[in-house]
Structure 1
């Protein structure tokens, strides 16, 4: 299992967390999405994660990405 971390811009409430979680869960290989509103961070756990698709899911949810970091 791998994980990817993203610094997300534009999050401000629980609805933001739910929107991102819903969009990212739809990406193939995702097993868990952890959104930290206070840190403006999203961590995705899964197998065979596609960085481009994960980034697109966050953007499709209506948010920006700053300095994506893969661990």
Structure 2
């Protein structure tokens, strides 16, 4: 059974930002899909689907590694 998590991310402005965040989050064990809704210059959202429980700390670290800020976990 898949698990999903929606998070808010600050600082993304373009398609390259989306690609960077998607790549970093996708490297987390169990992650099957990452859908990013870009709100350039505002707060973007990412919905993460995983075959395993999602490690929220790892998501925050992945977003930071991509150069952006995890604002909140929206469940």
Q: State if a TM-score over 0.5 links the two structures.
A: yes
**Which residue number in structure 2 is paired with residue 51 of structure 1?**
56
SS of the aligned residue for 2:74 comes to strand
**Which residue number in structure 2 is paired with residue 36 of structure 1?**
37
Please list every run of 5 or more consecutive structure 2 residues that lacks an aligned counterpart in the other structure: none
Instruction: Output the TM-score relative to the length of structure 2.
Output: 0.86
Please list every run of 5 or more consecutive structure 1 residues that lacks an aligned counterpart in the other structure: none
Matched pairs, number: 70
SS of the aligned residue for 1:65 comes to strand
Runs of 4+, deviation exceeding 6 Å:
none
Instruction: Indicate yes or no: 2:75 matched with 1:66.
Output: no
